[in-house]
Amino acid sequence: MAYINHEVVERQMTKRRTKNTVFKNLFLGATLLALLALVVLMYRMITQGAGYLSLDFLQNFSSRFPEKAGISAGLVGSLAMLAVVTPVSLFLGVGAAIYLEEYAKKNKVTTFIQMNISNLAGVPSIVFGLLGLTIFVRMLGMGKSILAAGLTMSLLILPVIIVAAQEAVRSVPGSLREASYGMGATKWQTIYKVVLPAAIPGILTGSILALSRAIGETAPLVVIGIPVIVQFLPDGILSEFTALPMLIFDWAKRPQEEFQYVAAAGILVLMMLLIFMNSIAVFIRNKFQNRY
């Protein structure tokens, strides 16, 4: 047993340690760079937009005059759209995930479906916009309504939710299912009483992140043709509306310099909404952390 020559090992030690340090600093640099970009962005938004944030800004409709421009129609529209997206995408997404994980036999068809779901998550959002325009707006005649936009957004985030929910369902240990089956529970009882309760924190965390993506998306709305200048609040699910990112997009396009600041203020509101939703996700994750 003399395969290891300790002298050689010692000689190479310095080189190995140097490499170790270099890589550690390289990765640290990558992290800092990403962080720096975020800080610069935040700094610009806050310095430019903070001045325009006010109660009036939240209550006013959009306007030709920067001082009078507000986001009320966009904020309410976005939240209304969320009210459509949440139930639709959760029901479809969790349902599909449970089917794929618990019921579907592991064969080629399932693998094919699985692959397509993963691919769908990578399809550009504008393609979903075109799909929504064709099916919901035109074929089903929903118009540029909250419902049409909400369904489009649901389709957009569905793959993400399915994958997240599958992950959560899969991470419920098999021993718990065995325990339930072992007592004579049916498959549905096992799913409903054991698997779902244990998977819910994971499902919710993933879903909320997906929902915040739905709120921030602009491209599908542009394609559907959601108007920008809306001088009323939506009064129903089929009502026309506008959304936060649409307003920001519109303001950012305008030539007057003041509108850049209005856009920044709009972005601040959107970001606060996102941060709020993400904190809920973090909260749920920490509170219901599973200990198997």
Partner 1 sequence: MVQAIVREEQQTKQEMKVLQNQPRENVYETNNLNLWYGDKHALKDINLNIQENNVTAIIGPSGCGKSTYLKTLNRMVELVPSVRTTGEINYRQRNILDKGYSVEELRTKVGMVFQKPNPFPKSIYDNIAYGPRIHGIKNKKVLDQIVEQSLRGAAIWDEVKDRLHDNAYGLSGGQQQRICIARCLAIEPDVILMDEPTSALDPISTLKVEELVQELKENYSIIIVTHNMQQAARISDKTAFFLNGEVIEFDATDKIFSNPSDKRTEDYVSGRFG
Q: Is 145 helix (H, G, I), strand (E, B) or coil?
A: strand
Applying CB under 8 A, does 287 fall inside the site for partner 1?
A: no
Binder of partner 1 out of 76, 102, 127, 197 (CB under 8 A): 197
Candidates 195, 215, 201; CA nearest to 274 is: 215
Binder of partner 1 out of 14, 21, 108, 292 (CB under 8 A): 292
Angle, in degrees to the nearest 10, between helices 146-170 and 125-132: 130
Applying CB under 8 A, does 185 fall inside the site for partner 1?
A: yes
d(CA 281, CA 275): 10
Tokens of 74: 């966009």
Applying CB under 8 A, does 195 fall inside the site for partner 1?
A: no
Which residues on adjacent β-strands are paired with residue 145? 240
Q: Which of residues 13-32 bind partner 1 (CB under 8 A)?
A: none
Applying CB under 8 A, does 60 fall inside the site for partner 1?
A: no
CB count within 10 Å of CB 116 equals 11
In angstroms, give the least distance from the CB of 291 to partner 1.
Answer: 5
Applying CB under 8 A, does 199 fall inside the site for partner 1?
A: no
Q: Which of residues 90-109 bind partner 1 (CB under 8 A)?
A: 105-106
Applying CB under 8 A, does 3 fall inside the site for partner 1?
A: no
C-alpha neighbours within 13 Å on the C-beta side of residue 88 = 19
Under rule CB under 8 A, how many of the chain's residues touch partner 1?
23
Applying CB under 8 A, does 198 fall inside the site for partner 1?
A: yes
Sign of the alpha-carbon torsion through 274, 275, 277, 278: positive
Applying CB under 8 A, does 194 fall inside the site for partner 1?
A: yes
Largest CA distance in the chain: 85
- Which amino acid, 36? L
Binder of partner 1 out of 141, 173, 227, 236 (CB under 8 A): 173
Give one DSSP letter per residue of 106-143, joined into a string.
Answer: SSHHHHHHHHHHHHHTTS-HHHHHHHHIIIIIIIS---
Tokens of 85: 């997206």
Binder of partner 1 out of 9, 32, 179, 282 (CB under 8 A): 179
122 or 184, CB closer to partner 1? 184
Binder of partner 1 out of 25, 116, 119, 189 (CB under 8 A): 189
Binder of partner 1 out of 5, 184, 231, 255 (CB under 8 A): 184
Binder of partner 1 out of 127, 130, 181, 200 (CB under 8 A): 181
Interacting residues toward partner 1 by CB under 8 A: 105-106, 173, 175-186, 189, 193-194, 197-198, 290-292
